Amino acid sequence: MSKQPKLSLGPILYYWSRDQVMEFYDWVATSPVDIVYLGETICSKRNLITTDDWFAIAERLTAAGKEVVISTLALLEAESELKRLRRICDNDKYMVEANDMGAIHLREGKPFVTGHSVNVYNGRSLELLAKQGLKRWVLPVELSWQTMADIQKEGPDEVEVEVFAFGRLPLAYSARCFTARSHNLPKDDCQYRCLDYPDGLMLKAQDDTKFLALNGIQTQSAHTFNLLPELDHMRELNVDVIRISPQSRITEKVVGLFHRCLTGEMSLEDGAAKLERIVPVGSCDGYWHGDAGMEDKAQAAAMKMA
């Protein structure tokens, strides 16, 4: 029997102003999401929100009935970043989303989630991590639903699975800051240019096709990964948590559509049509189906039926 998955809100992947972040989480406190991930996962220079601030936001959201998870950086390069990581992993109040193996090591013996940047590719990995404290894993975005199902069969039953279901795909990380480089600035003197791009800096191919989005050291897809049409399928696969990645202008509408489709207040067809109208650039879902990531299988199927 399929179960009703929970709805989560991933960490903000972009650099937003302090006021925008605070206003966003004021809304999140009253939103229908069940789980909220907090923290800086991309760049330690994005420090308008401090670690103390993240814990204060966590307290407010916990009081509002949300399950809060504190997320860690995906790529650490300095002692100061390691110091912050230790503080997060040493906390006993909130579960931690470990986004690299260093965080997993520091968190050993305490409950944690592995983020999509941790390469969990088989059931043996889940078994090993479960012995260290793993409670939930986020499917790496490049893997298909079939691979996820195979891993779940091999892994321990008590470990939950979470699927990144909406947002620009996080494709790669680098020690270089591409946003700074696009302005001919060195990484150490980036002048915080990421603040100018609250949903990433769009990159076009030579034929003017919107191809990628630059987000500091992270490279993302230009198209938005969108699995709203797959909600029934995810239920059948016993997905425990469905993740929405925040975007600067449409997150409230996206959460509302996912929630209404999950609860049956809106049909998947209507929800998918409404969501497609507000998605910037367009949707993609190829990885989920085991195909090229840029493909949009749901849209192709809808056009074929029409």
Topology of domain 6-305 in CATH is: TIM Barrel (3.20.20)
Residue 219 has pLDDT above 70, yes or no: yes
3-state SS, residue 293: coil
Residue 17 has pLDDT above 80, yes or no: yes
DSSP β-ladder status, 95-98 and 112-114: parallel
What is the per-residue pLDDT for 199?
Answer: 97
Instruction: To the nearest 10°, report the CA torsion of 260, 262, 268, 274.
Output: 40
* Terminal-residue alpha carbon distance, the chain: 32
Least confident of 62-66, 77-81, 245-249: 77-81
Please list the helix, strand and coil fractions of the chain in percent, rounded to the nearest 5, in that order. 40, 20, 40
Residues paired with 98 in a beta bridge: 114
Task: Using only the alpha carbons of the chain, give its radius of gyration.
Answer: 19
With bands split at pLDDT 50, 70 and 90, how would you rate the model's confidence at 305? low
Instruction: Tell me if 218 sits within 8 A of 13, measured CB to CB.
Output: yes
Residue 268 has pLDDT above 60, yes or no: yes
The model's pLDDT over 68-98, given as tens digits with 9 standing for 90+, comes to 999 999 999 889 999 999 999 999 999 999 9
Q: State pTM to two decimals.
A: 0.95
What is the per-residue pLDDT for 296?
Answer: 87
Instruction: Tell me if 7 sits within 8 A of 242, measured CB to CB.
Output: yes
Residue 300 has pLDDT above 80, yes or no: no
What is the per-residue pLDDT for 303?
Answer: 60
The model's pLDDT over 31-57, given as tens digits with 9 standing for 90+, comes to 999 999 999 999 999 999 999 999 999
Q: Which of 272, 250, 248 is nearest to 260 (CA)?
A: 272
What is the per-residue pLDDT for 208?
Answer: 87
Mean pLDDT, the chain, whole residue set: 95
What is the per-residue pLDDT for 2?
Answer: 67
3-state SS, residue 300: helix
Residue 108 has pLDDT above 60, yes or no: yes
With bands split at pLDDT 50, 70 and 90, how would you rate the model's confidence at 3? confident
Which percentage of the chain shows pLDDT scores above 90? 90
What is the per-residue pLDDT for 24?
Answer: 98
- Domain positions in the chain: 6-305
Once rounded to an integer, what is the mean pLDDT over residues 131-145?
A: 97
3-state SS, residue 72: coil
Q: Which amino acid belongs to residue 169?
A: L
